[in-house]
Structure 1
Amino acid sequence: MKPFIITIDTEGDNLWGRHAGAPGTRNAEYIPRFQDLCDEFGFKPTYLTNWEMAHAQPFVHMARAAIAEDRAEVGCHIHAWDSPPQVARTADDHRHHPYLIEYPDQVMRAKVAGHTQLLEDTFGCKMVSHRAGRWAMDERYARLLLEHGYTVDCSVTPGVSWQRQPGAPDGAGGSDYRHFPEQPYYMDPDNIARPARAGQRALLQVPMTTRASWIERSAPQLYRIPVLRSLAYRVAEPVHWLRLKRNNLASVLQLVQREAVRSPYLEFMIHSSEFMPGGSPYFPGAHDIEQLFADMRTLFAAIARTHHGMTLGAFAAQWQAGSSSAEAA
């Protein structure tokens, strides 16, 4: 059976609302229900945790117990506007949500160091897994993660460009992953879009399970021309994700069926705030949450027929062992 990796961006309540200050962490009380569902199927989620959630005691207590019992993993997820040191990048960082890669090198270094130390002190284990806040990664960031002992990242979203998603108003937007590899690879620290050279110390990239539509691959401009965008979306969404939203279970199951054959793993993602009514724009009410959990149960049951649960860190260790064996042979 192939690995199934569950990644949760474990962060404050409804960050889509662009809070004036630090968001609440009520969603921490709703995460145990999700962990129970994972336990039922023998899946082992990776909670990629930001600053405020590392201080949310209901989550901290649950995660410590799950780590001790090898039922879950905690990794790093940095929201640059929340993580100390607090260095203003814009006139209102809580409104703009600037990308970490938009800060000066020394600020990036301090934020990565401080966040890593907080997580390791809080959860009592080495941090090895990471996902960038707002999916923004560059070569400087990859090298910093290596310096701090991280072995695996999952920030790449094949087929997706985040350049139209602004951070700092004077910035260039997010990362463009449209031409990045779709399968795991060790990232060249000098160019993270390409595999590292043999023998080069590098960070394993485990891209999200996504699949660009035939329109996105052959005529992406159709999604970007206003008069044609609506028609293009009726034919096909530009990129399909292994991610549940309202009324997309059928398309996600189709993606699973295709990727189960062509990919060595499946990677699912969700935000912790999506487990709470009103914690996201996707599931605003209690009924929506019940439907989400019903859809996750159906999805997990389908995946369990062909895949087994594995944390991101465990996948990286297995991939490294396989690579070493192949080199030795």
Structure 2
Amino acid sequence: MSKPVFIITIDTEGDNLWKNNDQILTENVRYLPRFQQLCEKYGFKPTWLTNYEMAVDPAYIEFASDVISRGQGEIGMHLHAWNNPPLHDLTGDDWRHKPYLIEYPDAILRDKVRNITGLLEDTFQVKMRSHRAGRWAFNGLYAQTLIELGYQVDCSVTPRVDWRNAPGSPQGNGGSNYKNFPVHAYFIDENDISRVGHSSLLEVPMTIQYKHSPLVNLLMQGVDRLRGKQRSPSVNWLRPKRGNLEQMKSVVEKTLQQGADYVEFMLHSSEFMPGGSPTFRDKAEIDRLYDDLEQLFAWLGERTQGVTLAEYYQGFVKGTTLNSGHQ
């Protein structure tokens, strides 16, 4: 590819799952066309990583089917274990604790992945190629299951981030620790997903940069140890927050300067809806989000070309991306 690529990933799920513990609504479907139109304006193709509640919503099915029919995006899979069939009561209140899929028994993990994969493929009549784990929790068994089902791309890894302090099951050990994972795309070793291997599953890690220099990070971690705390170094994502346009541009610039052949953006579908997330709480904040997105996409349009996750995989395999293994 002549330019680095811009990969847009959207965790496509119910409304404000940070807060809603007793029901899952899907009103945010009504707000997705605006973002799709913005992507198309700049020649970008979002990958809509789709959760169970969205996969059974008639309005979402209509929206996603249109995207597929026009070749303007991709539908992938996203899985939140607590409401994805077959249901299995792990904690006594899974909707409140939101346990990680990797905390469930192995057979249940496999059944849940198979179920949502079959549902999506039957609904949209396309093969599922791309995936992101719910709450970023991934392991070898999960990877092996995706491989068995013919997935080509995973994008669950968040390099430089340790999720072990984010609880799932009260009896569990928290989420996945990605602090020392590769920052570039790599075919994973399914027995050790932190290592480059020879499986058929391509890992495309999120675009994340340290907020501070290595020296500052080292000093801050030393202070934390003296205080008896253990925290990951602060990071910046290619992910909108309120008023972080320049920060996102800096993440892109730093990533491309380090030799990357892609940058990967993410957001949740509910963040396009007023009140659908803790981040963008009303119409004014949504409008400011779109102001930032308009500027970011115009800026990226001069520097990158848009592809879906599956298209990136195809280019990587053919050697048309700069897949030289930059760290």
Fold agreement, TM-score > 0.5: yes
Matching of residues 1-329 of structure 1 within 5 Å: 1-21=3-23, 23-196=24-197, 200-212=198-210, 213-214=212-213, 217-219=217-219, 221=221, 238-262=234-258, 263-322=260-319
Aligned equivalents of 1:325, 1:304: Cα separation in 2 = 19
Q: 1:324 to 1:270 in 2, by over 3 A?
A: closer
Q: Quick check: 1:188–1:202 contact (8 Å CA) kept in 2?
A: no
Contact 1:274 1:282 in 2 (8 A): yes
What is the TM-score of this pair, normalised by structure 1?
0.92
CA distance in 2, matches of 1:321, 1:70: 21
Deviation digits for residues 269-317 of structure 1 (CA, Å, limit 9, x no counterpart): 0000000000000000110000001100111111111101100011011
Shift of 1:202: 3.1
The 10-residue stretch of structure 1 (218-227 or 181-190) with the greater mean CA deviation from structure 2: 218-227
Letter in 2 for 1:264: D
- Of Structure 1 and Structure 2, which has the larger fraction of its residues in helix? 1
How many residues are paired up?
Answer: 318
Q: Unmatched 5+ residue regions in structure 1?
A: none
| Whole-angstrom distance in 2 between the partners of 1:292 and 1:116 | 32
TM-score normalised over the length of structure 2? 0.92
Deviation at 1:326, TM superposition (A): 9.3
**Counterpart residue type for residue 202 of structure 2:** L
What is the CA–CA distance in structure 1 between the aligned matches of 2:217 and 2:74, rounded to whole Å?
A: 35
Partners of 1:185 and 1:195 within 8 A in 2: yes
Q: Deviations over 1:12-57 (max 9, x none)?
A: 0000004213x10000010000000001001000000000011122
Letter of the aligned partner of 1:111 in structure 2? K
Counterpart code for 1:190: N
Distance 1:120 1:217, change over 3 A: farther
Change (3 A) 1:295 1:222: farther
Tell me the C-alpha RMSD between the 2 structures.
2.3
Per-residue CA shift, 1:174-195, capped at 9, x if unaligned?
A: 0000000000000101100000
59-68 or 92-101: bigger deviation? 59-68
Contact 1:189–1:202 (CA under 8 A) maintained in structure 2: no
Q: Which consecutive segments of 4 or more residues in structure 1 shift more than 2 A? A: 213-229, 323-327
Q: Is the 8 A contact 1:19 1:95 kept in 2?
A: yes
Contact preservation (8 Å) 1:222, 1:228: no
* Distance in 2, Cα, partners of 1:227 & 1:244: 32
Any gaps of 5 or more consecutive residues in structure 2?
A: none
Separation of aligned partners in 2, 1:245 and 1:225: 29
| One-letter identity of the residue aligned with 1:206 | V
